[in-house]
Amino acid sequence: MTRRQKEPLRVLTDEEKDWLKKIAHSRNEPISHVIRAREILSVAEGESYTQAAHLEGRTSGDPVADLVRRFNQEGLNAIQPGHGGGPAQKYTTVERERILAEFRRTPDAEKDGTKTWSLMTLERALRKAPDGLPEISTDTIRSVLQAAGYSWQKSRTWCQTGVVVRKRKRGKVIVTDPEAEGKKT
């Protein structure tokens, strides 16, 4: 015997039904989205939470009840999974944009101590800035840059290619590779 539904599903709009049907029949959407869409459609057609869960291979109707509650509040956004556990995200989109803005800024050799950004110098600049992020880590910076489409290995420039300064007994010597241009390509 099923329990009484505390929060029944609200009446779906035509647009919501269309979207749910598209998601439920999609082969490109993640399977979690497809299952949630099918569960909501099943409940909308009059199935109980337990029956909707059994149709999708689940044993309990409680997750369906939670999904219906979220759908009543959020609409189609309830199809996407929420935070999956673990620590809460520390940096919001505002902080992520702040990291990207600092990365896009050309570093000042006097102020920043470098002419090109590395993860450590970027971390130092973000921590020192008045509107910066005092607890930022290089791992966070790396993940934000990668999420924004940057590949750190391809974009960094450590030194001029083909020219190095070597220490010798008589002092520092600049050594130039005459084949450097050919090696670049």
pLDDT at 1 > cutoff 50: no
Per-residue pLDDT band for 165 (boundaries 50, 70, 90) equals confident
**Mean pLDDT across the stretch 8-18?**
92
Report which of 126, 117, 124, 109 is spatially closest to residue 156, judged by C-alpha positions: 117
pLDDT value for 89: 77
pLDDT value for 80: 87
Cα Dmax for the chain: 92
pLDDT value for 155: 46
**Mean pLDDT across the stretch 71-84?**
87
pLDDT at 158 > cutoff 50: no
Residue-wise pLDDT tens digits, 20-56? 999 999 999 999 999 999 999 999 999 999 999 999 9
Rounded to 5 degrees, φ, ψ at 103 are -65, -40
Per-residue pLDDT band for 184 (boundaries 50, 70, 90) equals low
**Mean pLDDT across the stretch 166-178?**
88
Tell me if 162 sits within 8 A of 176, measured CB to CB: yes
Cα→Cα distances 88→82, 83, 84, 140, 175, Å = 11, 8, 9, 14, 51
**Top-confidence residue, 88 or 22:** 22
pLDDT at 114 > cutoff 50: yes
**Mean pLDDT across the stretch 1-16?**
80
**Mean pLDDT across the stretch 77-89?**
81
